[in-house]
Amino acid sequence: MHAAVLHEVGGTPRFQEFPDPVARDGEIVVKVRAVAVENVDRAIVAGTHYTAARYLATLPMIPCFDGIGELPDGRLVGFGNLRPPYGALAELAVVPADGYAPIPDGFDPAAATVLGSAITGMAMQTAGGLAPGETVLVQGATGVAGRLAVQVARLLGAGRIVATGRDDAQLAAVAELGADTVISTAVPDEELVAAYRDARGDGYDVVLDYLWGRPTEILLRALTPDSFGFHKPTRIVQAGESAGPALGLRAEALRTSGVELCGAARGLRDRIGEAYAQVLAWARSGELRFALERVALSDIEAAWRRTDLQGRRLVVVP
């Protein structure tokens, strides 16, 4: 079969032949229909993600650990949990017998690859407890997941949506998707502190954070009160680290601020089916819009290096 093959950590996958996967007991081979290349996939290939050791233990390997495929009986499914060195960026993938879920008939396979990012947006409710009418801050709203999160916040009934990003033109596009207020993080620290405070109104109820690093450290400064009291809770849901994997957290940022921190996976185990069904319904009705850039598997080397996607998800079609 043909596949995108990585030969060294930090390299660029190349289109070439690779041995066909052979199913073991409890596995099945699927025909790959579409694969989204996400930030986590790039981080694994670069060796910087915390799961990278598992996927890079054997080289050469095929990147990406999930996608949309076709079963031998023709059914379309979303699949994941692949056995290295076989990844999803190939014509065929080997999948655990319980490692796939059905995709409705007639649904675009390329659009289906982005459902997972939209489900991450649901973490503002499943992990953050968002209630209708509350204020949401989406940190990193100009990326694919962030743009979907802005739409999800509106569909969940958020009363007000604040969105951050580094590019003014992309922030304008996010405003068109439903953000009420946008904040540029490409400003000096004190200016950013003031912007967070000016935009918070009576407080941020839920923060869905795809950035971490400097912007979130400054957000915590903005949320730290200058007096004792019982301040309104701000539930920060950690979902990504595109601005950095670490931040400095002062004790005073938590002591009386009302800030609560949790990860995006909190509560998802028991509500994943509900979240998936809701995202799928919005996608089928057209209420949730996906921005895609489709490329052929044979063009993976050039596509992997692209930096001009501007909020569109790179989707590889074998």
- pLDDT tens for the chain, residues 1 to 318: 999 999 999 999 999 999 999 999 999 999 999 999 988 899 999 999 888 898 999 999 999 989 999 999 999 999 988 999 999 999 999 999 888 889 988 899 999 999 989 999 999 999 999 999 999 999 999 999 999 999 999 999 999 999 999 999 999 999 999 999 999 999 999 999 999 999 999 999 999 999 999 999 999 999 998 776 567 899 999 999 989 989 988 888 888 788 999 999 998 888 888 998 899 999 999 999 989 999 999 999 999 999 888 888 999 999
Q: Are 170 and 142 in contact (CB under 8 A)?
A: yes
Cα–Cα nearest to 149, from 125, 184, 168, 185: 125
CA dist 166 to 37, 42, 140, 189, 198, Å? 22, 20, 8, 13, 18
Cα–Cα nearest to 120, from 202, 210, 49: 210
Could you write out the three-class secondary structure of 213-259? HHHHHHHHHHHCCCCCCCCCCEEEEECCCCCCCCCCCCCHHHHCCCE
Cα–Cα nearest to 223, from 191, 272, 179, 256: 256
Does an H or E element contain 102, and which?
strand 100-102
Cα–Cα dist 261/252, whole Å: 14
Cα–Cα dist 44/124, whole Å: 25
HSE-CB for 27 with a 13 A CA cutoff: 16
DSSP for 126-169?
A: HTT---TT-EEEEETTTSHHHHHHHHHHHHTT-SEEEEEES-HH
Decide the pairing of beta strands 135-139 and 292-296: unpaired
Cα–Cα dist 210/54, whole Å: 24
HSE-CB for 12 with a 13 A CA cutoff: 10
**CATH 3.90.180.10 in the chain, residues?**
2-114+290-317, 118-263
Cα–Cα dist 173/177, whole Å: 7
pTM listed for this prediction? 0.87
Sheet of 234-238, strand order? 181-184, 160-165, 135-139, 206-209, 234-238, 259-263
Does an H or E element contain 123, and which?
helix 123-126
Q: What homologous superfamily does CATH list for 118-263?
A: Medium-chain alcohol dehydrogenases, catalytic domain (3.90.180.10)
CA angle, 10 then 17 then 293, to 5°: 60
User: What single letter denotes the amino acid at residue 305?
Assistant: R
Q: Which CATH number fits domain 2-114+290-317: 3.10.20.30, 3.30.1320.10, 3.90.180.10, 3.30.70.100?
A: 3.90.180.10
